Amino acid sequence: MKPRFSRKLSDDSGMVSVLIAVAMVMLMGSAALAMDIAHMLTVKNELQRLTDAAAMAGARGLWPSTLPSMSSSPPPDCATALSRGMSVATNANNQVDGAPLTTAAINLESGRWNYNTREFTPGCVANTNAVKATARKEGVNMFFAGIWGRGPATITATTTAVMDFAGGVGKGTLPIAINKRYVVPGQYLFINFNPDPVDNGGWFANPPDGANARTFRDYINYGTCPPLKVGDIISLQNGQDTSVLQDLQAKLVEHGGQWDTFLPVVNTDTFNQSQPIAAFLPFRITEVRDTTSNKGVGGNVLGLAESASSEPGGQNCGLLAPPKAVN
């Protein structure tokens, strides 16, 4: 007859074995579930990268591939936008779960992005500014969850990207503002900065910077003008300041006699007051007169151009911000 404590140990060891077995099953199940979740997240990330790339390419396709353009700003090209987006989405390098997607798994739409409501309205209209890309991957295998009856999954991703007219620009704007009445794409414009009540343009400074020659020269020589956005109040000034024009002439020479830049636009004829920025335009400076009686800056209002430092959301005065994912 075995001692009583020996039988007790045998009973306990059997219970421990059962608990270990149950724990092993639970741990293996948890590990399997974690592997399936990791796989699905990988597929989701691949889909998201694909829709990001497709939407960005589509948004860029709304506008001419070669910029700047001298002529008037063309309307958005929705057909080209959708074609470029689809080409990127189905590219063999953009694989999802080990294979490229087919066109049937991708939906591309052109439309209008509303910055206030953050809503996308599909359609091809005069103010179309966005492309929305949606992609899905069906039959994503659940390698271990299938043991518990979980079948293949369908995963989707969506991105909306805009390429729109500039609502803001980065640091370094030249200290010249343009009267909106004279914004005519392709037209030559000469700004003489005469101290007249009415003019087609003038100097500006961004408060608290003073509207004086020292500020203007700093903006020109050192790019110290801070970032600007539509609605900012700027101080306007006119007058044929020789030192400022001489600095502009020297910079024009450095640019080889042709200087593509961007300038703020204001809704006023009077350049001796403070006014809000209405828009931004691309301008090609071709001459600076700093020694004649009719001193000033001349050049062409460009029809369409892109500025890498710009943010979207402004009026159509020709300056585009680069593509940007918004949703």
**Mean pLDDT over each residue of the chain, to the nearest integer:** 89
**Is residue 140 located within the same domain as residue 51?**
yes
Say if 2 falls within a structural domain: no
Q: Give the chain's end-to-end CA distance (angstroms, integer).
A: 78
Domain that holds residue 259: 168-307
pLDDT in tens, 227-278: 999 999 999 998 888 999 999 999 999 999 999 999 999 999 899 999 999 9
Q: In this model, does residue 81 exceed pLDDT 50?
A: yes
**Is residue 113 located within the same domain as residue 222?**
no
Domain boundary among 130, 163, 196: 163
pLDDT in tens, 86-132: 999 999 999 999 899 999 999 999 999 999 999 999 999 999 999 99
> Looking at residue 145, what is its pLDDT?
58
Which residue has better confidence, 2 or 291? 291
Rounded CA separation 317/183 (Å): 7
Q: In this model, does residue 294 exceed pLDDT 60?
A: yes
User: Two tokens at 49?
Assistant: 């990268």
Asked if 219 contacts 213 with a C-beta cutoff of 8 angstroms, the reply is: no
Average pLDDT over residues 307-313: 95
**Is residue 60 located within the same domain as residue 111?**
yes
Asked if 176 contacts 202 with a C-beta cutoff of 8 angstroms, the reply is: yes
Q: In this model, does residue 9 exceed pLDDT 50?
A: no
> Looking at residue 241, what is its pLDDT?
87
| Residue 248 β-bridge partners | none
Rounded CA separation 90/246 (Å): 54
pTM: 0.84
**Is residue 69 located within the same domain as residue 98?**
yes
**Is residue 31 located within the same domain as residue 64?**
yes
- Structural domain count of the chain: 2
For residue 265, which of 311, 200, 208 has the smallest C-alpha distance? 200
DSSP string over 147-184: GGT---EEEEEEEEEE--BEEEE-S---SEEEEGGG--
Average pLDDT over residues 30-49: 79
CB-based contacts of 67, cutoff 8 Å, min separation 6: 304, 305, 306, 320
Which residue has better confidence, 169 or 71? 169
Say if 6 falls within a structural domain: no
Q: In this model, does residue 146 exceed pLDDT 80?
A: no
* Reported confidence tier of residue 149, pLDDT bands at 50, 70, 90: low
Rounded CA separation 143/277 (Å): 58
Say if 4 falls within a structural domain: no
**Is residue 130 located within the same domain as residue 255?**
no
